[in-house]
Each structure stands twice: as structure tokens, then as C-alpha cells.
Structure 1
Amino acid sequence: MLYIDIPTHPEIRALFEARADACVSIYLPTTPETQNVTLSRISFGNLTRTALEQLDAVGFDKRRRAALEEHLLALDEDGEFWRLQANSLAVLATSDSLRTFRLATEVTETVEVSDRFYLKPLMRAMAFPQHAFVLALSENDARLVEVFADQPASAVNVPGLPASAADAAGRSPVNNLTQDTTQTNSEGRKKLLLSFLRKVDAALRTVLAGRETPLILAATEPVGPMFRSLNSYPGLLAEGISASPDDMSESALASAARSVLDGHYAARIEAATALFHERIGSHRAISDLQAVARAATFGAVDLLLVDIDEVMPGTVDDTDGTVALATKPSAASYGVIDEITGRVILAGGKVLAVRREDMPDGAAVAAILRYPV
């Protein structure tokens, strides 16, 4: 099983706002295979030492250093924690706190030390989690299946989920309407289906409330369009699985869902890139680092695209957004792209973290503006 805990948007905003005398951000690949987790723990120990060495280099307070080291060592020694992992791990620590996030996406082994957290890899995990739910829905069946990046799909227990339309109606199959002679077969069938689908939607709320995980609908007509007309979950994707799910196994549903997810993510990137090029002519699209930092500082960025793997140590002026790049990472600098990302999010903008090959013009950052700056 893949154990995932991706931060919500309120959590990521709080993390971007966090400041401390030392914020340690550690990212490393892990494995859900418990018998192979030893290498991940060794990597974490090495990255911890690197972080502490950076603090020693700037003469960090010894008592605060000891408290921070205690948090990290306690995590390193927690065998139960390491037993339950996903494909990668984010560890965000200060002398007073430690947060962890297990991610389905892969990350590059990284350690950053600054007065704020390095959060760009988390943005990629939030944007492209490779994690979804599939609602397999027909008159004869209603199932919720959870799909993971590299692990087998599994059925989700949903309290109150009706097993079928007939179950929801407490009667024989919906095509047999002899119990209700006041309605025509087609009218009665439609009403019974709508009642069934409303019960499905209500049951799903107990599992999906507060989530942002994509939901993929596997259904055919008329059930598919009818469910979409009353669905209350905002994460339902427009594209679904257009096949009867009755005879589809969890594995078959997961395979079809991954294809839908890939198309969904590719379409988001393609649409953002197209909009970027469209806005260049009206001076509402920029990719120069200094210009993007300035726009982010003034709250002018509506959508920011960032290269998930690019790290530029330095600082960004709080007043005018001027970027001063550093020659190498240290406790006296931080990732400027990460800082720009945080300013965009705190100003209500959206962020899309992608691979370099998906960036407009191959830039490290690209911004679509609310207005020319």
C-alpha cells in the first residue's frame, strides 16, 4: 500500500509563511517496500548531517542546533514511521517542530537550510499526485476505487453507499416498475435512477469531504450524464472512463484511470503554455527571473509555471522583488524560485510545477500576469 499525505492549500500557505532561525527542508526518494527501506534511512541520515554542517558553518546557536538535531534523530530512529512509506518523503524541521509528507511523485534528493522552507517539490506533488479515486457506477453497481502511482488499486469502504439502484430503491431492479403503475416506465426509471445517484453523491461526501484528489467517473449513458448533473464533489474530472464498469476489475479501472490522469495533466500544461504565448503580445506574460520576482512581489501574477528541478540559491528583496543570486547554497540564502512561488500563492495566484521540457521557452520560471507590470 502507498501511504500518502499531500498538504492541502491552507497547509501549503502556512508553510510558505513560516519563518524561523533555521528551517531544514529534506527531500528524498523512498519505497513502499518495507524490506527495502534501509537505503532511504541511510540517505536521510546523510542529508541530516549535511543540514547540520551548514548550520555549523554559520555559527548557529548550539542549543537550538541540538533541539533541531533531536527532532531529526527521533524521526530517523522511528522504525514504524519508515515502515509506512510512499515513493518519496519531505521532511520540514525547525528547532521547535517537524512535519513530514509522504508523496506519490518522485523527487530529487535535496537538502535546503534557510530561514524559510523549500517547498517547490511539494507543489509538484500537489499538482500531479498520480493519485485518484474512480467511481464505478451503473444501475447494478456502485464502487469507489482508490488508484495509486505504482501500487495496486484498492476498494474504498464508503458507509451508506447503495450497492445498486434497486438497493437504493428497496425494490426489484429499476427496469421492473410494476410496483408503481402511476408512472410510465421511462419516467419512473429516471426518477429512481436520480434518487439512487443522489444517495451515491451523499455517501461519497463522507469520504471525499475536504479532499482535492481527482475523481474519475466510470459510467455509460444515461447514468454518467445524470450523475454529473448532480455531483457535488469539485474534483470530478470532465473526462471519464466511457465503458461499463460492471465487469471491470480494480486493476482494469486503475489502468484506465491512469490514462485519464495523464491526459488531464498534459492538457493543463498545454493550456497554460498556450495562454502564456497568447498573453506575450499584451505584455501579460514574462519569463525573465527578475521581472517575474518583481511581479510576484507586487501580487500581479495570476499563474506561475516553475521548473520543478531548478534550484537557484539567493535572496529576493521584500520590497521590490530584486533577486540577488548566491554562488552556492548556504544557511544565509534560500531558493529564489521557491520564494517567488510562495509570494504568488500568498497573493492568491495559482502555481503549476512542471519538468523543464514542459516550461515555455525552456525558462526556469514563467508568469501569466493579471495586468502588465
Structure 2
Amino acid sequence: MPILTKEQFENLAKFDNNPCISIFLPTQRIGKDVLEEKDRIQLKSQWKKASEKLKEMGVEREKIEKIGEPLKNLLEDRDFWRHQSDGLAIFLADGFMEKFTLPVNFEAFTYIADHFYLKPLVPMFSGDTRFYLLSLQMDNVELYEANLYSIGKVEIKDLVPARLEDRVGYDYEEKSLQYRSQNPATGDTIMHGQGAAERDRKNEFLRFFRAVDKGLHEILKDEKVPLVVACQDYLFPIYQEANTYKKLYSEPVPGNPSDYEHMLALHAAALNVLQPHFNKEKEEKMVQFREMTPGRTSTSVSEIIPAIYEGKVDTLFLQNREDIWGNYNENMASVDIQEEQSSANLSLMNLAAVKVMEQGGKVYLIENEFMPEKNSKMNAVYRY
């Protein structure tokens, strides 16, 4: 199951109330901080600051207590705090609370306005990061559907043979002992016997992999996302020969899948292999920014915000861990940029990010040194 869906993001973007409170916290998966409940204590501290800010804004004490009631219950849920990821995002309003435990490293931050602050969630929707991961062993075959932030097992037992013996017969183990052994010094597999025996062994693997590929076809036939294979290195060229899926990734996850302690470790290894694929679209957009003719790009916030509302912005680059404060008058198409955050302004970066994503554009959070134009916190590529 996805950790945060695009539909949930869109619903949060449309939510209109006053006040809306957005709280972001860095959290810990394991270790001393979890045992000492530091994440829970940190949320309690953030809510105290938010409550004081709400009082300054003139919100009545009874309303503040009502908004904070679900948070109070969450603070008392000790089991919840023992199962965290890298970040926690909480969205509160009168009669409303949503929380998301996410593998995204947030900085501690609280935002109060008549809308939610969603900019830190943008990386979860920057391009299509879906892929399939095939864990391929002679005695176990498993398929996972994943993206940058989540992974889930796909049921394939009725479609794919679970082990090689199911396809080539139960003399496999005896043959394996005859033809294969391990070098005690290196642990590497050694093939014995004549070339015919080795070809016979390869043909058995090939028959097995063709059966696997045939079963996967029922699931992958309409897909256009990468399939990355986790298997021992010597098996991958054989699987490539058997494969008919057009988006098979050219590099396998190294090592035997059984060497990985759990599914999340295998997921992390697959992400490392696929990183060039995930970066490709962003890098192409950055090259596009640098090579486009004048008028098709901009680094001026006062120009970019009105262009977004006209539907002109195809790609938006925002400097990570920074913000731009001010207001936008849609009727006048004018931008008022201010030095600091106040109760009378809003985040122009959040406004821009949400609007571009709503229009189907791309938004990337970029560290300053990698921004296409480093002298501006906001860069844009126009559609026309």
C-alpha cells in the first residue's frame, strides 16, 4: 500500500479552514531515542508552540483544545511511537486530523494558515518512481511492487513456479551436487564436468526462467515501469535471455536475495541500483532549463507565480530547506515578497508547488548547489 497517495495529497491541498496546522517532525526508527520517546516529546513541544501561536492569533482557548484533542490521544499511543520511520507529518484543523509516517527526512517545522503546508511532501510525487522487484532464487521466487518510499509483496504463487524443481524435475539437487561445488577459500561457485553438462544446467535454468517470465506476463503485460531482478550475478544473463518484458532493467541487484536481512534491505539495494533511472528525468529537465531560449525559463518569483496561475509552468525547481514569504493577488497578478514569515503572509513556495502539481507539472526540491540558477530559490521551465 502507498504511504501517501496522490489523492490524499490533493485532498489536503483543497482543504480550506482557519486555522489549519501543519506539523513536521524528524523521527527515529530504532535506538535509544525511540526507547526514551524523544519523538513523542518533540511533538508535545511543537504543539505547545503552535497553541501559543494560535492564542496570539486570537483563537479561543476552547477551540484550540478541540483542535488538539486528537493530538492528545496520539501522544498517549505508546505503540504508535514505537513504529516510526524517518519523518512524521500531521495535519490538524477543527474536527480534522491526518497523520503520515513517512521515509522522508523532515526538519522540525510548524505552519499555521488557512491552508496546509505540503511542500515537504513533494519528493514523494517527483516523477514516476514505481517499479517491480523480482527476487529470484532456485528455491524461491517473489515479486514486489515498490516506489521510492514503500514496497509490498505481489501474490504470484498461482502464476509462477516457486522453485526450479517444479519446472525441471526433482533430480535437480543430485545434478547440482555433481556439477557444482564451492571453493573453500573464496566461497565462489565452481562448475565441474564437461561442457555438455554445463549447457544442460544452463538449459534447466533457462526453462525455469521462461516459466517465471510467462507467469509474470499476466501481471506485467500492460505495465511500463522498470522490473529490476535480484539474483546471483551468474544467473542474470540467463534470465535476460528468457525475459520478454520490455522494461527489464539492465543492471541486477547484486548478491543472493537471501543475503539481505529483510524486505526493506532488499528494497534499499534496489533503489541504489535504480538511482540513475530516477534521476534521469530531473537531469533532463535541468538541461532543458539551461538550453532553452530566453522567455521559456525564469528565475523571478514575481514572474513565475502569475505564470503558474496561467498554466504556463511545466517544471518548477525549489531550493530545499528554504522558503519565500509574501502574498499573491490573483486579480492583479501581483506578488508581494516579504522578508519574514508572519500571520499576514504565506509561503509562496508552498503555493507554487501545490498549484504546479495540481496542473500536472513537475516539482523538484533541490539543494542550493544543484539548482539550475543558484542565485534564485525558484526556477521555472515554461510550457510555451
State the one-letter code of the partner of 1:240. E
- Residue of structure 1 aligned with 2:381, choices 332, 348, 368: 368
Does the Cα contact within 8 Å between 1:104 and 1:148 map onto a contact in 2? no
- Residue of structure 2 aligned with 1:29, choices 26, 30, 49: 26
Structure number with greater Rg is: 2
CA apart distance, 1:45: 1.2
CA apart distance, 1:172: 5.8
1:118 aligns to what? 117
1:101–1:225 CA distance, 2 compared to 1 (3 A): farther
Equivalent runs, 1:36-185 vs 2, <5 Å:
36-37=33-34, 38-127=37-126, 134-137=133-136, 141-144=140-143, 156=153, 158=155, 160=157, 162-164=161-163, 167=166, 169=167, 171=169
CA apart distance, 1:124: 2.3
Higher relative contact order (CA 8 A, sep 6+): 1
1:257 aligns to what? 270
CA distance in 2, matches of 1:352, 1:239: 26
1:87–1:77 CA distance, 2 compared to 1 (3 A): same
Does the Cα contact within 8 Å between 1:154 and 1:250 map onto a contact in 2? no
CA apart distance, 1:149: 9.4
The answer to whether the aligner puts 1:241 opposite 2:252 as a matched pair is: yes
CA distance in 1, matches of 2:27, 2:273: 26
CA distance in 1, matches of 2:58, 2:329: 24
1:283–1:296 CA distance, 2 compared to 1 (3 A): same
3-state DSSP class of the match of 1:229? coil
1:330-373 deviation per Cα after TM superposition (whole angstroms, max 9, x unaligned): 343321101101111111212222222221112312111111xx
Q: Which runs of 5+ in 2 are unaligned?
A: 176-199
CA distance in 1, matches of 2:308, 2:47: 32
Q: TM-score, normalised on structure 1? A: 0.77
Equivalent runs, 1:10-29 vs 2, <5 Å:
10-29=7-26
CA distance in 2, matches of 1:51, 1:133: 42
1:189–1:254 CA distance, 2 compared to 1 (3 A): closer
Does the Cα contact within 8 Å between 2:253 and 2:273 map onto a contact in 1? no
Does the Cα contact within 8 Å between 2:164 and 2:205 map onto a contact in 1? no
CA distance in 2, matches of 1:241, 1:131: 17
CA apart distance, 1:222: 4.1
CA distance in 2, matches of 1:148, 1:335: 29
CA distance in 2, matches of 1:25, 1:82: 19
Does the Cα contact within 8 Å between 2:137 and 2:257 map onto a contact in 1? no
CA distance in 1, matches of 2:161, 2:239: 14
1:10–1:342 CA distance, 2 compared to 1 (3 A): same
Does the Cα contact within 8 Å between 2:135 and 2:142 map onto a contact in 1? yes
The answer to whether the aligner puts 1:221 opposite 2:237 as a matched pair is: yes
1:74–1:134 CA distance, 2 compared to 1 (3 A): same
CA apart distance, 1:119: 0.8
State the one-letter code of the partner of 2:72. L
2:185 aligns to what? none
3-state DSSP class of the match of 2:237? coil
CA apart distance, 1:117: 0.8
State the one-letter code of the partner of 1:250. Y
1:313–1:12 CA distance, 2 compared to 1 (3 A): same
1:300–1:148 CA distance, 2 compared to 1 (3 A): closer
1:180 aligns to what? none
1:153-209 deviation per Cα after TM superposition (whole angstroms, max 9, x unaligned): 999584525323553x585689x9xxxxxxxx999997874442232354789xxx9
3-state DSSP class of the match of 2:54? helix
CA distance in 2, matches of 1:5, 1:247: 23
CA distance in 1, matches of 2:383, 2:230: 37
User: What is the total number of aligned residue pairs between the two structures?
Assistant: 344
1:341 aligns to what? 353
Does the Cα contact within 8 Å between 2:24 and 2:89 map onto a contact in 1? yes
CA distance in 1, matches of 2:304, 2:381: 9
1:129–1:278 CA distance, 2 compared to 1 (3 A): closer
Q: Percent identity?
A: 23
Does the Cα contact within 8 Å between 1:143 and 1:155 map onto a contact in 2? no
1:303 aligns to what? 315
CA apart distance, 1:34: 6.4
CA distance in 1, matches of 2:156, 2:300: 52
CA distance in 2, matches of 1:74, 1:293: 40
1:42-93 deviation per Cα after TM superposition (whole angstroms, max 9, x unaligned): 2111111222222211212444322112122222222121111001111111
State the one-letter code of the partner of 2:318. V
1:124-155 deviation per Cα after TM superposition (whole angstroms, max 9, x unaligned): 244499998632236765234799999xx999
CA apart distance, 1:226: 4.8
2:186 aligns to what? none
CA RMSD of aligned residues (A): 4.0
CA distance in 1, matches of 2:351, 2:26: 23
1:283-331 deviation per Cα after TM superposition (whole angstroms, max 9, x unaligned): 2121211111111111111121212211223222334543223443334
State the one-letter code of the partner of 2:105. E
CA distance in 2, matches of 1:261, 1:189: 25
